[in-house]
Amino acid sequence: MLLVTLTLAGCRNDRRPPLYPYGWEASEPELDSLTVLAESLYLHHRYDSLPRVITRMHEIADAHPTDSRMALRVDYWTARHKLSEGDTDAGVAMMRDLMSRTDSAKFPYEYHRLMWNLDMGYHTPSLERYRYLLNELEFFINAGDVMMSAGYCMDLGTFLNNVGDTEHGIPYLYKADSLLRLVGATEQIANNRINHADALANCGDSAAAAATLRTLLEDTVNPIGSYTRDIVMGNLYNLTGDTTLLRRAYEVLLATPAYEPEARCMYENLLASEALNRGDMSTAIYYHNLAARAIDSIAHPALAVEYYRLHYTIFERKGQMDSAFAYLYKAAAISEEINNSNHQIKIRNANLAAGITRERLQADLERRRLTMIQMGVTFGLLLTVIIGAIIFYRRLQHQKLARIRASLELEWSNRRIMAMELMMEEKENLFDTVSHEMEELSHQGEISRVAAGRIAGTLKAHSGTKPDREGFMETFDKLDPAFTRNIRHSHPGLTDADLRLAAFIALGMDNKHIARVMAIRPESVKQARWRLRTKMGLASGESLENAVRKFTGQPEQ
């Protein structure tokens, strides 16, 4: 989940913030440089150099009295310096005052940095704490702050390790290590790897935990500080039982200017126990007496139990059983209290781990639900596009087929008209031939002139039969189906003979040709044309051919 979050955040933030690896917004160039310097000084605990930097920050802010963001940043560092000097009450009070005056919508980064400084104390593990750490991690990732993101990864990893959910805590520690190495934060890397080693040990991988700690001790390029070295060697002793490491850790602790009394007491108890194990009673008593000087002032029950158990062992080996059992009873009483407290803590942590698992599963289910919705929407859109493409393709195919069908029908109609014209031409030629022969016969006296004329008239009357005329119009309608409809709509008074004449004219036939097809005289065609012009309402100068062609869609001549 973390890796996906950081990957997506990296995709969203394809440019580094101006004050990388921190998330401060760019302001005045010198103030920006001083801000990065202050972050570095604080990171490396060089608090003595901070006052000079903060003083210059105030001078810059005073020169820009209307810049509220600049003033807020300078006051933040002033308060933070008070915390670094140990003036906790004043520093916290100033931080709280700043937070109450900070608009979280206008200055979100500054607001969350103030929250971080006020959140440095111990918090009882809870679901609310887990949600808070997740939200803060997401904010600083989006803000592009590598250091703060690494810090919250460490906090989340340690939190989950402490409540027993080490499996999900280790990835956060891995990510923190990657981010810290990115900016070269050596000391923070060491602290994170100590936590990582602890998590590996909790998972039962003591060898990997020990290897992680040895890597820290053997790093000569980025050596760790004495305080961190002491902790590493102590933890490594607990993993390996190497007494050499125990003595070295104790020596490093004593060389540290300000060591914790609890740490010294712990090492002295361990050294006394180690001496007893090898039978060196005098050395054991020596370290045990050193531990006795601080045992009453240390509020650490586990150290007291170990001290009283050592006391019991020493008196038991001296044969002073009454005193030995007295210390054993003390150790047992404190151990019972510790066990009761640990039992309650284990129950609380188990419930908390279960709650975190439920939240993680719910979040995973919600992400899957959103993913399924997105996939459904995407699939629906894709299906719609495919169906649309199929419909469009089929429509194109239908249109193509319709064009082909129309083209075929047009070709068929043209061929039929041509066939009819040829047939009419043949009839005309036959009529001409018969007429000529009848005229020859009448000249030769084989038939009377009257009979020849009657026969010729009969042939002429039957050369253009009604079926032929109707077949012609049927074919022409298929060739140009809108012609008859359009011309009838514009001129409803036209007869079938008028429509037929208009069709002949639309085909470009001359009067002589029309006379032969209609089996009438050319003079009759002229009269029919005149009647058609009158019915169509044409002026004397208008072309009958162009008027007719308007209804066919053919270009005018």
Cβ(174)–Cβ(154) below 8 Å: no
Cβ(337)–Cβ(304) below 8 Å: no
CATH assignment of the domain containing 557: 3.40.50.2300
Query: What pLDDT does residue 9 have?
Result: 46
Residue 447 forms part of a structural domain: no
Cβ(154)–Cβ(176) below 8 Å: yes
Residue 395 forms part of a structural domain: no
Q: What is the 3-state secondary structure (H, E, C) of 357-417?
A: HHHHHHHHHHHHHHHHHHHHHHHHHHHHHHHHHHHHHHHHHHHHHHHHHHHHHHHHHHHHH
Compute the average pLDDT of residues 36-46. 89
What's the burial of 206, exposed, middle or buried (CB within 10 Å: 0-12/13-18/19+)?
Answer: middle
How many CB atoms are closer than 10 A to CB 131? Answer: 12
Q: Where are the alpha helices (H) located in 444-479, listed in sequence order?
A: 449-463, 466-479
Reading the block at residue 503, the tokens are 């069709």
Residue 18 forms part of a structural domain: yes
Cβ(176)–Cβ(146) below 8 Å: no
Reading the block at residue 243, the tokens are 């007494």
Query: What pLDDT does residue 6 have?
Result: 42
Residue 271 forms part of a structural domain: no
Compute the average pLDDT of residues 464-488. 64
Smallest CA-to-CA distance from 548 within 498, 494, 485, 505 is with: 505
The total number of structural domains in the chain stands at 2
Smallest CA-to-CA distance from 302 within 271, 263, 360 is with: 263
CATH assignment of the domain containing 19: 1.25.40
Give the integer Cα–Cα distance in Å for 312 and 509: 137
Domain with 110 in it:
1-184
Q: What angle do CA 263, 268, 270 make, to 5 degrees?
A: 95
Query: What pLDDT does residue 128 have?
Result: 93
Q: What is the pLDDT of residues 277-298, one digit of tens each?
A: 888 889 988 988 888 887 777 7
* Residue after which a domain boundary falls, among 122, 150, 184: 184
Query: What pLDDT does residue 224 have?
Result: 81
Residue identified by tokens 């209804």 is: 551
Residue 162 forms part of a structural domain: yes
C-alpha pair distances (Å), 124 with each of 46, 162, 167, 263: 31, 11, 21, 23
Q: What is the pLDDT of residues 225-250, one digit of tens each?
A: 877 888 888 888 888 888 888 888 88
Residue identified by tokens 């139990």 is: 305
Give the integer Cα–Cα distance in Å for 202 and 168: 12
Give the integer Cα–Cα distance in Å for 417 and 469: 11
Query: What pLDDT does residue 296 have?
Result: 73
Sign of CA dihedral 115, 119, 125, 126: negative
Q: What is the DSSP string of 86-129?
A: T-HHHHHHHHHHHHHT--TTTSHHHHHHHHHHTT-S-----HHH
Give the integer Cα–Cα distance in Å for 157 and 405: 75
Compute the average pLDDT of residues 190-219. 89
Q: Is the pLDDT of residue 108 over 60?
A: yes
Compute the average pLDDT of residues 498-513. 79
Reading the block at residue 80, the tokens are 């933070």
Residue identified by tokens 């087929």 is: 401
Give the integer Cα–Cα distance in Å for 514 and 468: 14
* Residue after which a domain boundary falls, among 184, 213, 232: 184
Residue 283 forms part of a structural domain: no
The distance of Cα 526 from the centroid of its chain, to the nearest Å, equals: 82
Residue identified by tokens 């959103």 is: 370
Which residues fall within 8 angstroms of residue 309, CB to CB, at 6 or more apart? 327, 328, 331
* Residue after which a domain boundary falls, among 184, 208, 234: 184
The distance of Cα 91 from the centroid of its chain, to the nearest Å, equals: 41
Q: Is the pLDDT of residue 360 over 70?
A: yes
Question: Which letter, b or e, does each residue of 456-493 get, where b requires 16 or more Cβ atoms within 10 Å of its Cβ?
Answer: beebbeebbeeebbeebbebbbebbeebbeebeeebee
Which residues fall within 8 angstroms of residue 387, CB to CB, at 6 or more apart? none
Give the integer Cα–Cα distance in Å for 76 and 93: 12
Residue 418 forms part of a structural domain: no
Reading the block at residue 378, the tokens are 């995407």
Compute the average pLDDT of residues 299-328. 82
Residue 406 forms part of a structural domain: no
The kind and range of the H/E element at 187 are helix 186-202
Residue identified by tokens 């592009």 is: 144
Compute the average pLDDT of residues 159-168. 91
Q: What is the pLDDT of residues 381-434, one digit of tens each?
A: 999 999 999 999 999 988 888 888 767 765 665 666 665 666 666 666 766 777
